[in-house]
Structures are given as structure tokens and as C-alpha cells.
Amino acid sequence: MTNHDNKNHFERPLGHLAAVVSQRSRGAVHTALTEAGISRRDLRLLAVLDREPQTAEALEERRAARRERHSGGEHGEHSHERHGGFRVGRGGHRRRARDGQGSDQAGRGILHRMTLAEKLDDLTARGLIAADADGTLRVTDQGTALRESGRASLAAVKERSTAGISESDLETTRRTLQTLASNLAG
């Protein structure tokens, strides 16, 4: 990038720059995880089950409780809702749900986000989790290895995205963005 390009880049509105960083970050994470053979949703489920093995029913109850907390207005008008496989956010913008493994069902001709039960069946079929005799789901050695691979991929994206930026500058950026967000929360 030339100095001229840098000058023009800094003159762009903060909202634009934040959106560019967000879009590129999501794209880099998606690509890295896809190459590792795992999705963000897989990582989250494996992390939950690694911390606290539990039944599918307990996971569903946990999910319902989380949805209840969030639908109660905790995030106000900025909370996201799922509609027909699309994520609807602020301003009603629709975006295809893409979570790597399983959100797009090949051959169906439509976009489909797996239910929790379908996702657990998928993780079981892939050998990433297994159920005990009492139905408690646990992460397998294969699941642990894939989760670690996914975490390493995320760490590599973070390292690449923050290359050349001091920890002090990153912390200042975080505080500044949090203040901007708070100021605009209304």
C-alpha cells in the first residue's frame, strides 16, 4: 500500500473501516476453519461438551434458556434472529447462514441450518462425540484433536491479523471501539 493509499484509508469513516475488518475477519476465520474441517458451531459444541459432558436434552434446555435471556431484550433491537436459514440483523439485512459443515445441505436445493439434534447426530457420525450408556455426550479423542486443530487455525488468523500491531495499540483499539459502541447504544 502506498502512502497515498494509507492517507485515503484513514479518511474513511470508522463504521466503514470496522465493517471491512469484520467482513475480512469472518472470511479469514471461515476459510481457516473450513480448511481444518470444522465449523464455528462445531467448535462451540465441542467446547461446551469438553467443559461439561451432558445429554442432548440438557444441551437443548441450555440453548432454550440462552434464547430466553436474549429474547428478553438484553440486546434490544440489535439482537439477531434466525429466519428460514438467514440471519437477520440490524436494518433487516439478510445473510445466508454459513457454518461450514452442515449448514448448507447438499442436494436439498435449499439452505438449511441443522437443528441441534441434527448437528449432534452429525458430530456423532463423524466420530467427534459419543454418548455414554446414560446418554451423556462426551468429546472423543478425534473430536479433541479436531477442536485443537480448529483452535490453532483461529490462533493463526489472530496472529496474522494483528501482525505489526503492539499489544498496547490493540488494547487502545479495543477500548476505543467499546466506547464508540457504548456511545451509540443510545
pLDDT at 96: 43
Single pTM value for the model: 0.68
The conformation of residue 87, written as its DSSP 8-state character, comes to E
Could you tell me if residue 121 is inside a domain?
no
Mean pLDDT of the chain: 80
Judge whether residue 117 has pLDDT over 60: yes
Cα–Cα distance between 17 and 132 in angstroms, integer? 48
Task: Please give the pLDDT value at position 95.
Answer: 41
* Residue 29 counted as domain residue: no
User: What mean pLDDT is predicted for residues 94-120?
Assistant: 59
Give residue 107's pLDDT band: very low, low, confident or very high (50, 70, 90): very low
pLDDT in tens, 29-72: 999 999 999 999 999 999 999 999 999 999 999 989 988 888 86
pLDDT of residue 104 exceeding 60: no
Phi, psi at 147, each rounded to 5°: -60, -45
Rounded to 5 degrees, φ, ψ at 130 are -145, 150
Q: What is the pLDDT of residue 15?
A: 86
* Average pLDDT, integer, range 125-151: 96
pLDDT tens for each residue of 142-172? 999 999 999 999 999 999 999 999 999 999 9
Residue 45 lies in a domain: no
- DSSP-based three-state secondary structure for 2: coil
The number of folded domains in the chain is 1
Compute the average pLDDT of residues 17-27: 94
Average pLDDT over residues 12-39: 93
Amino acid present at 1:
M
Cα 70 from Cα 63, distance rounded (Å): 11
Residue 132 lies in a domain: yes
Residue 6: inside a domain = no
Query: Domain for residue 22, yes or no?
Result: no
Whether 186 is in a domain gets the answer: no
Average pLDDT over residues 118-129: 96
> Is 145 among the domain residues?
yes
Q: Does residue 75 register a pLDDT over 60?
A: no
- Please compute the mean of the pLDDT values over residues 122-149 and round it to a whole number: 96
Cell numbers for 141, please give them: 479423542
Structural domain boundaries enclosing 155:
126-160
3-state helix, strand, coil split of the chain in percent (to 5) is: 65, 10, 30
